[in-house]
Amino acid sequence: MDAVIAAGGKGTRLGELTREIPKCLIEVAGRPLLSLQLEELSRSGIRKVWLLTGHLGEQVEGYVRNNEQPVEVEIIREEAPLGTGGGLASLAGRIEEPFVFLYGDLVLSLDLGRMRAFHDRSGAEVTMLGHPSSHPGDSDLILEGEGGRVLGISRKSRERGAWLRNLGNAGLYILPPDLPASIERDARRDFEKEVLPPYIETGSAFVYRTTEYVKDMGTPERLAEAGEAIGTGAAEARRLSNRQRAIFLDRDGTINEFVGLVSRPEQLRLIKGAAAAIRRINRSSYLCFVVSNQPAAARNLCDLADIETINRKMETLLGEEGAFIDDIRFCPHHPDKGYPEENPALKIECGCRKPKPGMLLELAERYNIDLGESYLIGDTSVDVMTAANAGTRSILVASGMKEEIPKFDARPGLRAADLGEAVGAILDERPVALS
């Protein structure tokens, strides 16, 4: 593929740093951001990069001309600001295959091959890169439908009036080669507001969810964070071509208060300290997933859409405290049949209902997780048995069901009072004796 970098912005949020230096040449971990971007794109097999420049573009041209680059680079200078999307019109007829489009303030460590495979498999015209955000109230959130189809974008707002999945728009896309020809030449266009919507409206835009490192460095605080992530190797470790470690979490009784089967959003309340514990995971080298049995729909206490809404509330509440879940899996099934009020379609034997390991195995495949180096934290013997069946380690917390008669004779590797103590045992590297 080719790639296009929109590098013409002024970077006003960086203040004095971009007064005399274009944003894409600001140093991150001792190197110009553009150098890091070109290297990353080259690693993913990008053959040519088109740079759309504007503000202080002569410096960008000088940098490219005077330094050896890992890919072929061609620069197109905007004579007047064309917004985030207008410059794409200059590529009409010059690109023949799907191409990558990204903003010039992104620091990334990303296996683009996985994203391209999803793009081809889904039949998308446009694929957006999505990931959970530590600041969802200050992020555009992607509304995702079945199979990853994009239903819309909720613009950044701390008062959205609805529970939403924490799936932020990362600012990186795979676009069709005929898109540039659809944009009027020399016209200022906002990519998200004017260029992207027709693809969402026709159902041809999809979102590829990843846990990899893709962050904008558009503020001094984020620039410092990105520099640390690059410098320490944390960003590189997140590439899904590398084996990952994860902490899997049960939901009810581990993250939110145990009140029996949760069938309505108002029943979900976070356990005190749960968000802080998950925030610690987010800042560590572990990914964080929720794997939960949710048979309320099978019992006809609610439907699948209600369970999704409840999970969205959990994500929203966590996001308000700067914490996020990398991905969620839940099992809506229940094997016991014969009740008049049941939903027969969900009263089935399955491979995903804990203690079967299906949810963990699916996530391990999707995110290249080493289960032997991972943990499952939950409040029942079902969770402990699930960990054993998946070949991962277990920690049993006392914050949930407090069952008197365990369903399974399975010993946890460790017992903890709550999620905070369990996460502390892992991240502070206290020894965990496996059963």
For residue range 400-423, what is the model confidence (pLDDT) as tens digits? 977 656 788 889 999 999 999 999
The answer on pLDDT for 434 being more than 60 is no
The yes-or-no answer on residue 186 being catalytic is no
The yes-or-no answer on residue 383 being catalytic is no
Residue 32 has a CB neighbour count (10 Å cut-off) of: 18
Residue 161 has a CB neighbour count (10 Å cut-off) of: 7
- DSSP string over 364-398: HHHHTB-GGG-EEEESSHHHHHHHHHHT-EEEEES
Name the E strands within 110-186.
126-131, 141-144, 150-154, 168-175
What mean pLDDT is reported for the chain?
93
- How far apart CA 22 and CA 33 sit, in angstroms, is 10
**Predicted local confidence at residue 77, as pLDDT:** 92
Question: Per DSSP, what are the bridge partners of residue 49?
Answer: 3, 73
Q: Looking at 105, 111, 252, 383, which residue is catalytic? A: 252
Alpha-carbon distances of 113 from 1, 70, 99, 107, 168, rounded to whole Å:
10, 18, 12, 18, 21
Distance spanning both ends of the chain, measured CA to CA: 49
- How far apart CA 435 and CA 412 sit, in angstroms, is 6
- How far apart CA 198 and CA 201 sit, in angstroms, is 5
Q: What is the pLDDT of residues 149-173, one digit of tens each?
A: 999 999 987 667 789 999 999 999 9
Half-sphere exposure in the Cβ direction for 127 (13 Å, CA):
24
The answer on pLDDT for 337 being more than 90 is no
Q: How confident is the model at residue 278 (pLDDT cuts 50, 70, 90)?
A: very high
Q: What is the pLDDT of residues 213-255, one digit of tens each?
A: 999 988 899 899 999 999 999 999 999 999 999 999 999 999 9
Q: What is the pLDDT of residues 247-277, one digit of tens each?
A: 999 999 999 999 999 999 999 999 999 999 9
Residue 267 has a CB neighbour count (10 Å cut-off) of: 16
Query: Is 413 within 8 Å of 434 (Cβ atoms)?
Result: yes
Query: Is 191 within 8 Å of 85 (Cβ atoms)?
Result: yes
Kindly state the average pLDDT of the residues 23-38: 94
377 CB-near residues (< 8 Å, 6+ apart) = 247, 248, 249, 250, 254, 383, 394, 395, 397, 416, 419, 422, 423
- Name the nearest CA neighbour of 326 among 77, 131, 174, 149: 131
Q: Looking at 111, 250, 326, 383, which residue is catalytic? A: 250
**Predicted local confidence at residue 145, as pLDDT:** 95
Residue 297 DSSP SS3 = coil
**Predicted local confidence at residue 408, as pLDDT:** 86
Any idea where the domains of the chain sit in the sequence?
Answer: 2-236, 243-427
- How far apart CA 129 and CA 374 sit, in angstroms, is 26
Kindly state the average pLDDT of the residues 289-315: 96
Q: Which CATH architecture has domain 243-427?
A: 3-Layer(aba) Sandwich (3.40)
Q: What is the largest CA-CA distance in the chain?
A: 76
Give φ, ψ of 376 to 5 degrees.
-125, 125
The H or E element that residue 113 is part of is helix 112-122
The H or E element that residue 52 is part of is strand 48-53
- Name the nearest CA neighbour of 42 among 121, 131, 117, 110: 110
Q: What is the pLDDT of residues 347-402, one digit of tens each?
A: 999 999 999 999 999 999 999 999 999 999 999 999 999 999 999 999 999 999 77
The answer on pLDDT for 431 being more than 70 is no
Kindly state the average pLDDT of the residues 56-67: 93
- Superfamily for the 2-236 domain: Spore Coat Polysaccharide Biosynthesis Protein SpsA; Chain A (3.90.550.10)
